[in-house]
Chains A and B, each alone.
Chain A
Amino acid sequence: MRVGVYVCHCGINIAKTVDVERVVKEISKMPNVVICRDYHYMCSDPGQELIKKDINRYGLNSIVIAACSPRMHFKTFQEALKSAKLNPYMLEMANIREQCSWVHDDVEEATKKAIALVKSAVAKAAQLEPLVENDSPVVPAALVIGGGIAGIQSALDIANAGFKVYLVEREPSIGGHMAQFDKTFPTLDCAACILTPKMVDVSRHRKIELLAYSEVDDVTGFIGNFHVKVRRKPRYVDEERCVACGDCATECRLFNRIDSEFDEGLGKRAAIYVPFPQAVPLKYTIDPERCLFLTRGKCGDSPKCVDVCDANAIEFDQEGRTVEFDVGTIVVATGYDSFDATKKPELMYDKLPNVINGLQYERFFAPNGPTGGELVMPDGTVPKKVVFVSCVGSRDKKVGNPYCSRICCMYSTKQAHLTKERVPDADVTVFYCDVRAFGKGYEEFYERVQEEGVKYRRGLVSEIYRDDDGKVHVRAEDTLLGEPIDLEADLVVLATGIVPKATTRSLAQKLHISHSPDGFLLEAHPKLRPVDTVTDGIFLAGCAQGPKDIPDTVAQAGAAAAHAIDILAKGKITIEPYNAVVNPDLCGGCRICEMLCPFDAHHYNEAKGVMEINDTLCKGCGVCGAGCPAGAITLNLFRNKQIICQIGAILDE
């Protein structure tokens, strides 16, 4: 083997702590090493040029780069090898920056360690074998999970690029939380006015197949070729025949007697319902938990919905069904839940009727809400003293949410403005710990609302209580004045934060993607790969990945769509040969590896009685190789012989 070794200075990043020249001197003495050089920046064009020239000049057939982590520049150097007509897998990197110069101070010790690391890499380089990349076809369709603004945006973007999209939504209608909002901050656009056109676009788009009131049951396969099973829940209403006249709901025996989820329990609905008038698809759904006929088998003499439906759309014997399809890529946009304020008992959320959360307050303003957009309490009074409490369930280690929810400061500010708009003489106070007005136009909006007479007082609320006259009081410390405050309030709004949706965890398991300690889905890299997941072909959009406002959600949804389109447009994916391979002569078919594999890459060939590994699914983690009792599994890039040589070289030091 003819090995070329290149030691990088990385400016002073490496050269300051590692005596590069001594490394070169030592390595030059090694067997197989034809040439060893150092250079200031190996990743620069001249650095790469150097390697290419040497490959031709000295007939090198294996290359070692001693520089940074292979995560940074492995691909860069592979390209250099390719252009010199060398197999790109005849490359080994020794990480003498992150794992050496950056973590040590002592030049002597660091140099010794660098020499050992490079020797070990050279030992492996002498054992490398050329590997071949394979292509795999891509199914030209995408699955988008979640029909909130994130899912809607991703679905539209992908469909507009000409690819088929399956949009799956758990609820009877798409629209998500944004459909519940009245106005959006800071521009005070009507949320429904900007959202509903997109919802209509989704329903009319010939490339989008909307699967509402459905849940993803199972996903198997891999990038380019996922197989999806979706459970369509029974609406008990024939979607084809229902014309959404609404007669069934007004006639329902439980009309106006069931808390409306869309109105956050403030409004009422019937057992057969559409969540809101602009729902898409605008088809009625029977609530199987509440419908008298479905729960008791009897609803008066006959169910009234059946009696009044001229279209004969009610089908009590409807059953759920499973639809299956293949897609090349998946966007996860499952959204969030609002923090459950009962976890803060001192705020009396479930004890006092005039303590509500931010999402509930939003419904007071919405024209399609329980009060028709009027700010009127259930007892008919107009609240004159309104108090907002910030950071409920955010930045609060006690409830396990150390993160900032990013929207509450601004939605409280918006709601404070809307309060002033409805009731100009209202006394509005916002208790805050920091006002985070970080977005475009947010600070200006915050200032404007203060000028409108909304009082901002710095201090977190310690307690909410009711006095003997039944008046609600909010108690806090004004930390700027350094004095305790006791404010009487007609209405207290808890600015509840964003928490991961309860169902996100089980979905993450189905998709083999991970979540961070806060429970939100984990991106592949916090800075540079914010919409990718560690599973190729699956992307994240919206609050499923972390709290964000509407502009950020739409931006991320667009980015996720662009990544999905990237895969779909190429039509094929290149599979890097990092995978494990089974030697069928040694494999006894014990299937231990099948249980160990975190990526479901192993499958048992019953006819041959041996295991087979799917190259596309396999990530080359090596668990199966370590677990195989017969030693039948080897990793393409980490063969036993290579590793033993590597260890040997280090132990020689």
Chain B
Amino acid sequence: MTEYAFFPGCIGKNVYPGIEKATRLVFGTLDVDLKDYPYSCCPPPGVVACYDKESWYTIGARNLALSEAEDLDIMTICAGCYGTLHNVWHELTHNRKLLEKVNENLDTIGMHYSGKSRPIHFVDILDGMRKEISEKKEIDLGFDVAVHYGCHYLKPSSVTGENPESPSVLDDIVGLVGCRSIEFKDRLTCCGAGGGVMSGEPDLSLRMIETKLKNIQERNVDAIINICSFCHMQFDQSQKKLKRFEIPILHLNQLLGLAFGHKQKHLGLHMNLVSNRDLVKKVKMARRVSA
């Protein structure tokens, strides 16, 4: 059985616990064992790294060190957490002096990080399990969806190794459970949450997501699919603030959970501010067709 250390992140655990739950259900279905550790906040680059980079590296390294002790790679469900941990990992494995400094700090709490345990975004794990996803699928969902790639999952490409200009992995994965990824204008732009924009420039942040939602609304999709708890929060909460949108929003693991036949309550679909009622109806219909 494949094992990963599971890094739920602050939002996936506290604001949208449905995302955490959906992740556990989906990976359980896929026979992947997720281990828990006493993780702290990742911590986010916008807020912490801007003020004190060394602390940022150190706290990030502490999280990585927890799973390294048991020789496990660390799975994230939020592009922000991934961005932090992956950047910390990349920097520490390329900068020996920094690694020594960070380990000096970790030593004060009796810990050590060597760079062996590396962070993996859950989409990259799913990417390698396409066959299993198709096998475990119970319902062909048949949704038209707008997919949203989180910026930190793709960029900087020199660190992530992804192609940030024409990614396709998310479009492929939603296709495995019978969904159609609908092209929309500027689909690769930022949701407006990350990089400290949401807290530092709330009006700008709202304008960014408004443009994005408008472009999506023009395409008349059934749902927006994201791979990041922070983007999820932005898409969900902003729709309430802007009052003019009502587009269901699902984390990819919630979508897969539905396709694998898990109950919508267990996946936390009711915990969104934007109603998922129509979507749930569609799932029921799709279930009947699939049966």
Contact = CB atoms under 8 A, between A and B. Distances in A.
B185 A465 contact: yes
B278 interface: no
B52 interface: no
A346 B166 contact: yes
B163 A345 contact: yes
Contacts of B166: 345-346
Interface string B165-199: 11000000000000000000100000000000000
B185 A344 contact: no
A346 B165 contact: yes
Interface residues of B, number: 6
Contacts of B165: 344-346
A398 interface: yes
Interface string A465-500: 101000000000000000000000000000000000
Interface in A309-354: 344-346
Interface in A345-380: 345-346
**In the complex, which of the residues B158, B163, B165, B166 has the most CB atoms of chain A within 10 Å of its own CB atom?**
B165
A72 B185 CA distance: 62
Interface in A90-143: none
B237 interface: no
Interface string B143-173: 0000000000000011000010110000000
Nearest to A345: B166
B163 A398 contact: no
Contacts of A346: 165-166
B36 to A, nearest CB: 38
Contacts of A465: 185
A398 B185 contact: no
A346 B163 CA distance: 10
A344 to B, nearest CB: 7
Nearest to A344: B165
A409 B165 CA distance: 25
Nearest to B167: A345
A398 B159 CA distance: 12
B220 to A, nearest CB: 13
Interface in A365-399: 398
A344 B185 CA distance: 19
Nearest to A398: B157
A165 B163 CA distance: 48
B146 to A, nearest CB: 16
Contacts of B163: 345
Interface string A441-476: 000000000000000000000000101000000000
A554 B163 CA distance: 40
A467 B157 CA distance: 27
A258 B52 CA distance: 62
B266 to A, nearest CB: 39
Contacts of A398: 157-158
A341 to B, nearest CB: 12
Contacts of A467: 185
Contacts of B158: 398
A586 to B, nearest CB: 47
B71 to A, nearest CB: 34
A344 B163 CA distance: 10
B6 to A, nearest CB: 33
A467 B165 CA distance: 18
Interface in B213-247: none
Contacts of B157: 398
A467 B166 CA distance: 17
B160 to A, nearest CB: 13
A326 B157 CA distance: 51
Interface in B79-107: none
A229 to B, nearest CB: 43
A29 B21 CA distance: 86
Contacts of A344: 165
B158 to A, nearest CB: 8
A465 B188 CA distance: 12
Contacts of B185: 465, 467
Contacts of A345: 163, 165-166
A147 to B, nearest CB: 37
A79 to B, nearest CB: 50
Nearest to B218: A468
A346 B187 CA distance: 12
Nearest to A465: B185
A398 B164 CA distance: 11
A478 B157 CA distance: 24
A345 B165 CA distance: 6
A467 B183 CA distance: 11
Nearest to A351: B166
A345 B185 CA distance: 16
Nearest to A467: B185
A107 B172 CA distance: 68
A465 B185 CA distance: 9
B192 to A, nearest CB: 15
A352 to B, nearest CB: 14
Interface of A: 344-346, 398, 465, 467
Given A345-B163, A398-B157, A467-B185, 7 more contacts: A344-B165, A345-B165, A345-B166, A346-B165, A346-B166, A398-B158, A465-B185
The 8 closest A-B pairs by CB, nearest first: A345-B166, A346-B165, A345-B165, A398-B157, A345-B163, A346-B166, A465-B185, A344-B165
Interface of B: 157-158, 163, 165-166, 185
6 contacts: A344-B165, A345-B163, A345-B166, A346-B166, A398-B157, A398-B158
